[in-house]
Structure 1
Amino acid sequence: MRIGLVLPSPPAYSETFFTNKIKGLEAHGHTVVVFVNNSKKGTFNTTKCKVAPKLSGSLLTVGSISIFTLVYSLVFHFNKSKRLFLLDREDGLGVIQRIKNVIGNSHIIAEPLDWLHFGFGTMVFNRENVAKAIGAKMAVSFRGFDIGVYPLKNPGCYLRLWDKVNKIHVISNDIRALLYTHGYNGKAEIIKITPAIDTFYFKKEDCQLPSVKNSFITVARLHWKKGLEYTLEAFALLKKEGIDFHYTIIGEGEEYERLKFAVYQLDLLDYITFTGKIKHEKIKDELNNSNIYIQYSIQEGFCNAVLEAQAMGKLCIVSDAEGLSENILDNETGWVVPKYAPNMLAERIQKVIELDSEHKKRIAHNAQRRVREKFNIENQQKKFVDFYT
C-alpha cells in the first residue's frame, strides 16, 4: 500500500513514535510518503517527504505561489482538485476557503495513496475531504493535547471529521474516552496503539551510585502541562521535612524562566538542576545515575520518557493525567498520584524513599518486565501494519 502521513515537520531525532512506525511499514513492503508544512526540523532520509506550498511572506510572493500552485493542480490533477472543491462546498465552505484548500493541499493531491493518516488531530482542519477527493481512506491519530486541550479552546472543532474518518488511532484508553466527550459519533473504528521504546537500548546497567541518595529526575519539555511547578512545590515540602535530595530536570521550553524563578522563591537553588536539552545518550547516563523518576503532568497522552525510565529499572511516580495511569500500574509497577496535589506527591515520594530494598526491587522488576513485554517496538510496528488492513 501507499500510505501518506501528515505531520507538522519531518520527525526529529526524539520523535521515535513516527520514525519507528515508518520503518516498520517500509520493512513490510509499504510505501510511506510524509507530508509536512515545513522541512526545517529534522530529516528522515529513507522516506519520501513532500512540503506544503509556502504561503507566507510578501503579498506578491504569496500571490505568485498561490496562482502557480492552483494552475498546476488544475492542469495536472484537475479531477482530484475539482472533487475537493465540490466536497468542501457540500460542507458549506466559502469559495475563497475552498480555493485555499486546493492550493494548501496540492502536495497531497498530487500523490496516489491508499491511506491518508493525519499524525495529530489538529493537522486535519480544512483537510477533512482531501482523502475522499484523492480516493484514499482517512485515519487520524489523537495523542493528548489535540483532544485533551485544543477542543476546550475550540468547541466543536472535530464535528466535520467524525463523519468522514475511517479509522482513529489513540495512544491510551483515556484518550479514547475524550473522543466521546468532544462529540465522536461512534462511526469510525477506534484502535489503541500505545507508544513503544527500544527495550534493547534502554535497559538496566551497572552505574555509578548517585552522589545524593535520593536522586530524582524528570525528562520533559518545560511546558505548563508537565506540572513541573507542582513538582517543585512538593520538593519544597520535602525540604521542610529535612529530607536530603537532588532533582534534575532535563529539557527546554517556554516555561524555563518561570520555573527557575519558582526554584528561587521556594529556596531550592541548591537542590534543583536544569540541564536544558541534551543528547539522547546523555539522557540515558542521567537516568542511570538517578534513583526515582517523576512525571507529575497535568495533561499527558502517555509519555515515552516514563517507559524508558521503567525499562532502566527506575522507580517511577506519576500523576493520573490521561495515559500515565495506564503507563504505570499503581502499586505494581510504580505509583500514581492525583493531579494538582503537591502535598500528596510529597507524601508519596517520602513513602517510596522509606520502602525496604526488597519492595523497591520488586516494583522495579515488575515495571521492567511489563515494558519489555507490552511496549516494545516490534509489537508496535506489527500493530500499525495491521491498522491499515
Structure 2
Amino acid sequence: MKIALVTNAFPSVSETFIYNHAAGLRAAGLDVTVIAARPSRDGHMFSDFDGLKYDGPIVQAILSGSAGTSLGRLAGHLSGAGARDIALWQRARKLYGLNRRAFRAWLLAMPLAGFDIVHFEYSGLAIAWIDALPLLAGSRLVTSCRGAAEQITPLAVPERAGALRKIFGIVDRVHCVSEDMRTTCLRYGLELDRAFINRPAIDISRFKRSTPYVARTAGPYRLLSTGRLHWKKGVEFALIAVRALVDQGLDVQYEIIGAGHDEEHLRFSADDLRLNDHVVFAGKRSSTEVRAALERCDVYLLPSLSEGLSNAALEAMAMELPVVTTTAGGMAEAITDGVDGIIVPPRAPDRMAAAVSALLADGPRRVAMGRAARGRLEEAFTLERQIRVYLAEYDVLGRSPPRASGSC
C-alpha cells in the first residue's frame, strides 16, 4: 500500500508527532512518502534524535517556496512526466476549463498522484489542496483535525467554516485527536460515521527517565512549559500564576521552551510582572533537549486556552511528572483530576497557582502522581497503539471502492 502524508514542513521540531507517524508506518512495512508544503528549517535539530527514524522519501510540493523555486520543481517534474500527469491535466481542464485554476490544481495534484491513500495531517492543508482533490482518481483521502484549524480559525475567518463543511463531504475519513475534537467537527457538518478517533501518542521508549524522580523539599523548584508561543497556549496566565507563587514566598523557576509570534508579548508580560529572575525563555529546542528539560523539572504546566490533545503534556506524563493542565480541548480524556494530574479551568491563574503550591508542599503526592501518569501513558497513549489504529483504518480504506474521477 502506497501512502502519502501531506504536512507543512518536514521534519519539524514542533511536530515530532508527525515524524513519529511517518516513521511508525515505515517501520510497519508501509510504503510511505512525505509531501511537504514548504521546506524545513529544522533538519539540523534531528541530528541527535534517538527514536524511530523516518528513512523514506520527502517530496516538496511544487507550489512551495519562491516562484523561481516552484518553477524549478515544475521543470524537474515535467522532465519525467508521463501518461499519469497528462491524464491529471486533462481532468483539470475538464473540471475547471483552460485557466489559472486548472493549472494550479494540476500542479498541486501531481506530487499526490498514484498513492492508494493521501493523508493530510491538518484540515487546513486539505483545504489548501481542495481543487486538486477531484483529480486524485483512485486515491482514498484522509484528513486529520488537531486543534486550532477547527476550534479557532472558523471563528475568525467565517469562510473557513464553509471550507470545512466542503472538505468533510469530500474526504473518505476524518481523523480526530480526541472526542472533544470530533464534537467540534460535528458542528461543521462532519458525519459521525466518517470520523475516527486516534489520540496522540508518545514513544515511551524515548520519553522515560534515566534517574528516578526526586521530590525536592526546598527550592528552587523548576516549572516547565513547552510548545509554540501562541496566545492559545495561555502562557501569560501561567506567568500570572508564577507571580502568585513568588508572592507566597516560594522559590520557583519557570522555563518556557518554544518560539512563536507571541514571544514579544510574553517577554513584556514577564518583565511587567517583575519575574525576570524567575522566568527563562529557552527558545526552540530539539526533542532530545526537551526530554532533558523534562527530567530536570518538578511540575509541568499546560495553561492552554485551546488544545486538541496536547502531545507536550503527554511527554511530561511519560517522564513521570505531575502535570497541571487546563480543561482545554481533550485534556480531560488523558488526565484524571487528582490521580495522574491536576485539571484547572482556563484563564484561572489563581487555581493553577494553588494546584502547584499544593504539589510543591507534598513530595510523596508528586511522586505518586507522576508514576500514575506514566502508567496512563503506557496503557493508552503509546506509539504502537496509535500506529495500529492507523493501520486498521488504512486497511479498510484500501479495500473500499475507489472514488470516481471528478466525483468530489
TM-score range, shorter chain: 0.7 to 0.9
Cα separation, partners in 2 of 1:2 and 1:296, compared to 1, 3 Å: same
1:32 equivalent to 2:38? Answer no
Distance 1:4 1:258, change over 3 A: same
Amino acid at match of 1:294: L
Alpha-carbon distance change, 2 to 279 in structure 1, aligned in 2, over 3 angstroms? closer
Partner residue in 1 for 2:89:
81
Structure 2 residue 292 is the aligned partner of structure 1 residue 285: yes
The aligned amino acid for 1:105 is: A
- Looking at structure 2, the residues matched to 220 and 57 of structure 1 have their Cα atoms a distance apart, in angstroms, of 28
Q: What residue in structure 2 maps to residue 388 of structure 1?
A: 394
1:71 deviation in Å? 10
Aligned length: 380
Distance 2:70 2:241 in 1: 51
Higher relative contact order (CA 8 A, sep 6+): 2
1:315 corresponds, among 310, 322, 328, to 322
SS in 2 for 1:33: strand
Residue identity matched to 1:193:
N
AA matched with 2:335? I
Q: Distance in 1 between matches of 2:140 and 2:131?
A: 10
Higher alpha-carbon deviation: 324-333 or 160-169: 324-333
Q: CA deviation at 1:67?
A: 9.2
1:88-107 to structure 2, matched below 5 A, reads: 95-107=99-111
- Cα distance change on mapping 1:68 and 1:208 into 2, 3 Å: closer
Name the SS of the counterpart of 1:269 in structure 2: coil
| Aligned counterpart, 1:198 | 203
Range 250-259 or range 114-123, more displaced: 250-259
Name the structure 1 match of 2:221. Answer: 214
- Match for residue 47 of structure 1? 56
Q: Which amino acid aligns with 2:315?
A: E
Query: Aligned equivalents of 2:239 and 2:62: distance in 1?
Result: 44
Q: What letter matches 1:201 in structure 2?
A: R
CA distance in 2, matches of 1:331, 1:274: 29
- Please give the root-mean-square deviation of Cα atoms over the aligned residues, in Å: 2.8
- Residue number in structure 2 paired with 1:189: 194
Shift in alpha-carbon separation, 1:263–1:65, aligned structure 2, 3 A: closer
**2:135 paired residue number:** 133
The CA deviation at 1:285 is: 2.6
Is residue 171–residue 301 contact of structure 1 (8 Å, CA) maintained in 2? yes
Secondary structure of the 1:194 match is coil
Cross-structure match for 1:159: 165
Q: 1:133 to 1:281 in 2, by over 3 A?
A: closer
1:216–1:290 CA contact under 8 A, matched in 2: yes
Q: What percent identity do the matched residue pairs reach?
A: 27
Is contact 1:88–1:129 with CA below 8 Å preserved after alignment?
A: no
Tell me if the contact between 1:52 and 1:105 (Cα under 8 Å) persists in the aligned partners.
no
> Residue type matched to 2:165 in 1?
L
* AA partner of residue 123 (structure 1): L
Tell me the residue number matched to 1:7. 7
Given the superposition, is the C-alpha separation of residues 72 and 104 from structure 1 closer, same or farther in structure 2, using an over 3 Å criterion?
A: farther
In the alignment, the residues of structure 1 paired with residue 64 and residue 213 of structure 2 have an alpha-carbon distance, to the nearest angstrom, of: 51
Q: Is the 8 A contact 1:311 1:367 kept in 2?
A: yes
The CA deviation at 1:238 is 2.2
- CA deviations on 1:319-357 (whole Å, 9 max, x unpaired) are 111022222221121111111122222222223333x44
Quote how far apart the aligned CAs of 1:308 are: 1.6
Equivalent position amino acid for 1:175 in 2: M
Does the aligned pair in 2 maintain the 1:318–1:324 contact within 8 Å? yes
Q: Matches of residues 308-347 of structure 1 in structure 2 within 5 Å?
A: 308-347=315-354
The Cα shift of 1:385 comes to 1.0
Question: What do the CA deviations read for 1:130-168 (whole angstroms, capped 9, x no partner)?
Answer: 455331111000111121112222332212212211111
Q: Deviations over 1:146-191 (max 9, x none)?
A: 21112222332212212211111111111111101223244x5211
* Structure 2 CA distance for partners of 1:105 and 1:374, relative to 1, 3 Å: same
Once the two structures are TM-superposed, the CA of residue 363 in structure 1 deviates from its matched residue by 2.0
> Within 2, Cα distance between the matches of 1:203 and 1:81?
50
| TM-score w.r.t. length of structure 1 | 0.87
1:356-386 Cα distance to aligned partner (Å, 9 max, x none) = 4443333222111111121111111111111
Q: Deviations over 1:95-146 (max 9, x none)?
A: 432332112332223xx11111111100012533645533111100011112
Q: Could you say what secondary structure the match of 1:175 adopts? A: helix
Q: Distance in 1 between matches of 2:65 and 2:311?
A: 34
Check whether the contact 2:38–2:65 (CA below 8 A) recurs between aligned residues: no
Q: CA 1:217–1:131 in structure 2 vs 1: closer, same or farther (change >3 Å)?
A: same
Instruction: Give 1:149's aligned amino acid.
Output: I
Determine the C-alpha separation between the residues in 2 that align with 1:374 and 1:62.
42
User: Judging changes above 3 Å, is the alpha-carbon distance between structure 1 residues 264 and 118 closer, same or farther for their aligned structure 2 residues?
Assistant: same
The one-letter code sitting in structure 2 at the alignment partner of 1:35 is I
Q: Residue 353 of structure 1 corresponds to which residue in structure 2? A: 360
The 1:55–1:284 alpha-carbon spacing in structure 2 relative to 1, beyond 3 Å, is closer
Local SS of the residue matching 1:163? helix
Relative to structure 1, the CA distance from residue 4 to residue 62 in structure 2 (aligned partners, 3 Å threshold; closer, same or farther) is closer
Q: Give the AA of the match of 1:2.
A: K
How far apart, in 2, do the equivalents of 1:383 and 1:277 lie? 31
Contact kept in structure 1, 2:37 and 2:64, CA below 8 Å: no
| Aligned match of 1:117 | 119
Match of 1:108 among 107, 112, 120: 112
TM-score by length of 2: 0.84
SS at match of 1:125: helix
